[in-house]
Amino acid sequence: MLTLIDELGRLSCTVGGEGPPVVLVHAGVADHRMWDAVAPALAERYTVIRYDLRGFGQSPPPTGPFSETDDLRRLLDHLGHDRVRVVGASWGGRVAADFTLTHPDRVHSLTMLAPPWRGYDWSAEMVAYDEAETAALAAGDLDTAVRVNLDMWLRGPSRGWQDVAPGLADRLREPMRIALTHQDVVGQHSQGGTDRDVATITVPTLVGVGRLDIADFQDIARRYAAEIPGATFVEFPAAAHLIALDSPTELLAALVPFLAR
Nearest to 6 by CA among 56, 50, 70, 58: 70
What pLDDT, on the 0 to 100 scale, is given for residue 192? Answer: 83
Query: If DSSP codes are grouped into helix, strand and coil, which group holds residue 122?
Result: coil
pTM of the model: 0.96
Q: What is the mean pLDDT of residues 14-28?
A: 97
Look at residue 200 and tell me whether its pLDDT is greater than 70: yes
Between CA 29 and CA 27 the distance in angstroms is 5
3 pLDDT above the threshold of 80: no
User: Which domains occur in the chain, in start order?
Assistant: 2-121+186-259 (3.40.50.1820)
What's the whole-number mean pLDDT along residues 232-241?
98
What CA–CA distances, in Å, run from 192 to 65, 122, 186? Answer: 10, 19, 10
Residues 72, 55, 182, 187, Cα dihedral to 10°: -10
Does position 244 have pLDDT exceeding 80, yes or no? yes
Q: Which pLDDT does position 7 carry in this prediction?
A: 67
Q: What is the pLDDT of residue 46?
A: 98
Let me know: does 81 contact 105? Beta carbons within 8 Å.
Answer: no
pLDDT of res. 10: 86
In contact, 114 and 26? CB cutoff 8 Å: no
Cα–Cα distance measured from residue 242 to residue 95, given in angstroms and rounded to the nearest whole number: 16
Whole-number pLDDT of residue 2: 75
Distances from the Cα of 79 to the Cα of 2, 35, 141, 171, angstroms: 10, 20, 39, 28
Kindly indicate the confidence band of residue 193, based on its pLDDT and cuts at 50, 70 and 90: confident
pLDDT(230) > 80: yes
192 vs 123, which has greater pLDDT? 123
Q: pLDDT (tens digit, 9 = 90+) per residue, 136-177?
A: 999 999 999 999 999 999 999 999 999 999 999 999 999 999
Alpha-carbon distance of 135 to 145, in angstroms, equals: 8
Question: Is 228's pLDDT higher than 70?
Answer: yes
Confidence of residue 92 (pLDDT cuts 50, 70, 90): very high
Predicted pLDDT of residue 99: 98
Q: Length of the chain in residues, anyone?
A: 261
CA torsion 180-72-10-78 (nearest 10°) is 160
**Mean pLDDT, residues 22-30 taken together:** 98
Instruction: Report the candidate in 106, 118, 120, 102 with the shortest Cα–Cα distance to residue 194.
Output: 102
Query: What pLDDT score was predicted for residue 258?
Result: 98
Query: Region 220-226: what's the mean pLDDT?
Result: 98
Distance from C-alpha of 225 to C-alpha of 206, rounded to nearest angstrom: 8
Sort 171 into a burial class: Cβ within 10 Å, 0-12 / 13-18 / 19+: middle
Quick one: DSSP state of residue 250? H
